[in-house]
């Protein structure tokens, strides 16, 4: 079996949700105007992230000489054309003519291609992720087995997922806004979710006001997680972490800048709340955090951290050190959700998995058989490969 064609499809889908993506509402750069001067610490200019007004990603399509077609996804929440060009200009030639079942070999060849130039994360790793997932899809189809089976079997199916997410409110938000936030949380519980993640980072006291109100409404048995997106200093994160412990929050995601490994170690040793991080680009970043005793829950994103091949290695590293694995998703297509579900099913140390709750024009709309989410549990497909039959014509309607 040989790869005969690699195609990267940049997607920019028009949102159909009533509200902008929750990450953009919580941490988007629209809140920071040009030339802003502030006495806040850390400076607002270091705490505003770029979000697209469309739902952006790159879908990868691989064909073989045996007629198999594999699908993958490269996380590209902004500028998907850039990621698509990396696949087209750099990676396609590396894998063309190769056997798609040689997933580890091809991963190492792709990674080595730009390793000497320092491309160890970001657009390049995301591009590798898309090809790698498509390779696993083909390998599963050729073997007549699901990706979960190829990974060694299901420790769980379905997978418990948490609703992601609800943005916390600033302290000066009116009571009516807080009541609306609580009502959203109650609706998620009533829909069957057993947990949700709050996007915090709107100010320490505002964060606690929002989480406290939801805890009061949903009770101690409902699982709450908190994601600060790295906006706080070490000292602020430490103060907030102790308060989150008192509120029974399940983990504290990206409490401070992800570059500050020493800070993560300091927080992990001082707090009882588990420290989690999603911006892990490879096993090399993961082992640095593990050796520093700086992390408790590893959250690599399968479409960002090197695909199935590398995320499996990250999860196994975590498992060997007694740490938990919890796939990150946030936003993406049905391919992203399915690939994450296979990893979550197959890894023994899976804690939970993220699930974006927004109305998604490239979710179940692009597959013949919708992914099944029942009472907060996502059913991992059991058909060969990813287990998805894509509606290609619908997907391509969203191409950039």
DSSP single-letter state for residue 56 = E
Report the C-alpha dihedral over residues 250, 234, 177, 162, rounded to 10 degrees. Answer: -30
For the question of residue 284 being annotated catalytic, the response is no
- Do residues 252 and 274 touch, judged by C-beta distance below 8 A? yes
Determine the Cα–Cα distance for residues 50 and 43; give it in Å rounded to an integer.
16
From 328, 336, 342, 398, active-site residue: 328
Distances 343 to 132, 159, 388 between C-alpha atoms, Å = 13, 10, 15
DSSP single-letter state for residue 30 = G
Greatest Cα-to-Cα distance within the chain, rounded to the nearest angstrom: 62
Closest CA to 279 of 262, 263, 295: 295
Distances 248 to 62, 118, 196, 201, 251 between C-alpha atoms, Å = 45, 40, 13, 18, 9
Residue 355: φ, ψ to 5°: -145, 115
The catalytic site residues sit at 328
């Amino acid at each position: 079996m040989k790869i005969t064609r690699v195609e990267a499809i940049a997607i920019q889908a028009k949102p159909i949700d009533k509200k902008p993506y929750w990450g953009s509402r919580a941490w988007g750069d629209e809140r920071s105007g040009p030339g802003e001067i502030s006495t806040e610490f850390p400076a607002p200019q270091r705490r505003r992230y770029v979000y697209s007004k469309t739902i952006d990603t790159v879908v990868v399509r691989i064909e073989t000489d045996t007629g198999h077609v594999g699908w993958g996804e490269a996380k590209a929440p902004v500028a998907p054309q850039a990621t698509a060009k990396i696949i087209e200009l750099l990676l396609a030639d590396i894998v063309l003519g190769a056997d798609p079942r040689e997933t580890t070999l091809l991963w190492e060849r792709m990674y080595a291609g730009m390793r000497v130039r320092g491309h160890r994360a970001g657009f390049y790793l995301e591009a590798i992720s898309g090809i790698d997932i498509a390779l696993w899809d083909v390998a599963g189809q050729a073997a007549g087995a699901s990706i979960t089976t190829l990974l060694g079997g299901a420790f769980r199916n379905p997978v418990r997922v948490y609703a992601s997410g609800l943005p916390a409110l600033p302290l000066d938000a009116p009571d009516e806004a807080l009541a609306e936030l609580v009502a959203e949380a109650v609706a998620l519980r009533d829909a069957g979710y057993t947990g949700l993640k709050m996007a915090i980072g709107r100010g320490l006291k505002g964060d606690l006001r929002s989480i406290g109100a939801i805890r009061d409404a949903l009770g101690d048995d409902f699982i709450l997680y908190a994601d600060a997106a790295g906006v706080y200093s070490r000292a602020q994160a430490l103060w907030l972490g102790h308060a989150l412990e008192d509120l029974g929050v399940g983990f504290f995601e990206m409490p401070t800048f992800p570059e500050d490994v020493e800070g993560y170690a300091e927080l992990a040793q001082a707090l009882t709340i588990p420290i989690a991080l999603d911006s892990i680009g490879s096993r090399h970043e993961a082992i640095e955090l593990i050796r520093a005793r700086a992390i408790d829950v590893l959250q690599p994103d399968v479409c960002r951290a090197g695909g199935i091949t590398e995320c499996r290695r990250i999860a196994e590293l975590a498992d060997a050190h007694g740490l938990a694995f919890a796939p990150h998703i946030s936003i993406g297509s049905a391919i992203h959700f399915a690939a994450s579900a296979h990893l979550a099913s197959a890894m023994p140390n899976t804690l939970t998995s993220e699930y974006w709750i927004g109305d998604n024009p490239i979710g179940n709309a692009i597959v013949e058989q919708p992914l099944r989410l029942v009472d907060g549990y996502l059913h991992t497909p059991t058909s060969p490969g990813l287990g998805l039959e894509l509606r290609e014509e619908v997907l391509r309607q969203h191409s950039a």
